[in-house]
Amino acid sequence: MQKYIFTILLLLASSINAKENLVATQKVQLTLESSLQKQVKTMTLEMKEKLRAKSISIAIMDSHTGELLSLTGSDCNTIKEFPKNSIASFTYEAGFVMAPFVFSLALEKHLITPYDLINGHQGHYQFQGRTIIDPHKFDYLSAANVIVYSSSIGMAQIAQKLTGKDYYNGLVSFCFAQQSIPDFTNENIGFIPNANQLTKAIYKATASYGYGVKVNLLQLLKAYNLFNNNGKLVIPHIVVKESYSESRKILSDKIVQDMRKILIETVERGTGIKTKIKGVEIGGKTGTAHVVESGKYVKKYNCSFVGFTNGVKHRYTIAVLVQQPKTSIYASKTAAVVFKKVVHILIQNSLLNYNTHRKDDK
């Protein structure tokens, strides 16, 4: 497919006359696939209207190289905005899409296994003077099912097992509160609680299901890519590079194997089931979180689905944000649906060749 060739105007000071400026042009090749970018853009506009959302943003990345094949949205024009980008500059509390990172930290420290039983408290849990409510009313559930069914009650308990130092260092290792992409000049890096704050039970709990933490969509894309790239960190980029820096190993093979299985199960039978496509490997996580206005949480929601899809030859990591949909407050009925449409577009453009003989198809 055709890539974008973007011409940048540069003001270069004349070496002959310091008072005179010369205008020069520099051609930069972007990683964006032009046809894919247009199709995804059109889809976001259609889904924005259908979901009655404030806006929709989407990022699609090659899981191995970090090349962004599409970065667009209903209210974003990546080409016209470059080298700034409105998706990179928007941070938000992302909800339960943050849970897999905290969960994997607990796995790494051998504090839990996917098979441990966690008390679901029948969907109502009194914690630190507050009530945590889950939509699914479990008596007990496995630790893995805490992720599969988005149990904030379960995550609140798992998160307590981490020390404040390990919690903080773990979030830093996933590159939160840091620049995610070198190609944009206006990225908002958001914030995470510090190590001292994360010694407190309430901070441990709320951060584990995505409150009190601010991230942008590209940070989530970069972090989730670890689960689809053998635990190796790659840098998302939009400008074609002559060579790529060697990826750095962040997660062990065992942690990646466990997390991939859980995220695929989330699609097969959990909150991500609306993304499921026969023959296509898809894994990921939903996240729904209140919007803050004037320092208070209001009855408006941001919905995310971040995950991966893999075909016979290609592996992609995809992040979707639906801001303030009115047809449903749940990511499982909004962002997950948009994610599925993205995967269909990849298939239609022969960018994802799927296996029709997968054994786990139902």
Which amino acid would we find at residue 226?
A: L
In this predicted structure, the answer to whether residue 322 has a pLDDT above a threshold of 70 is: yes
User: How many H-runs (helices) and E-runs (strands) does the chain carry?
Assistant: 11, 13
Which of 162, 94, 156, 158 has the alpha carbon at shortest distance from 125?
Answer: 156
The predicted pLDDT at position 18 comes to 43
Residue-wise pLDDT tens digits, 166-205:
999 999 999 999 999 999 999 999 999 999 999 999 999 9
- In order of start, what are the domains of the chain with their CATH numbers? 3-348 (3.40.710.10)
Sign for the CA dihedral angle at 177, 178, 183, 186 comes to positive
Tell me if 48 sits within 8 A of 56, measured CB to CB: yes
**What Å distances lie between residue 141 and 38, 96, 122, 318, CA to CA?**
43, 17, 10, 28
DSSP string, 284-325: EEEEEEEEEETTEEEEEEEEEEEEEEE-SS-EEEEEEEEES-
**What Å distances lie between residue 146 and 17, 165, 341, CA to CA?**
67, 23, 26
Q: What is the mean pLDDT of the chain?
A: 92
Reduce the DSSP state of residue 67 to 3 states and report it. Answer: strand
Crossing angle of helices 201-208/164-173, nearest 10°?
Answer: 30
Angle, vertex CA 333, rays to CA 97 and CA 130, nearest 5: 50
> How far is it, in rounded angstroms, from Cα 11 to Cα 34?
27
- What's the average model confidence in pLDDT over 313-335? 97
pLDDT level of residue 13 (50, 70, 90 thresholds):
very low
Tell me if 58 sits within 8 A of 39, measured CB to CB: no
Beta bridge partners of 298: 291
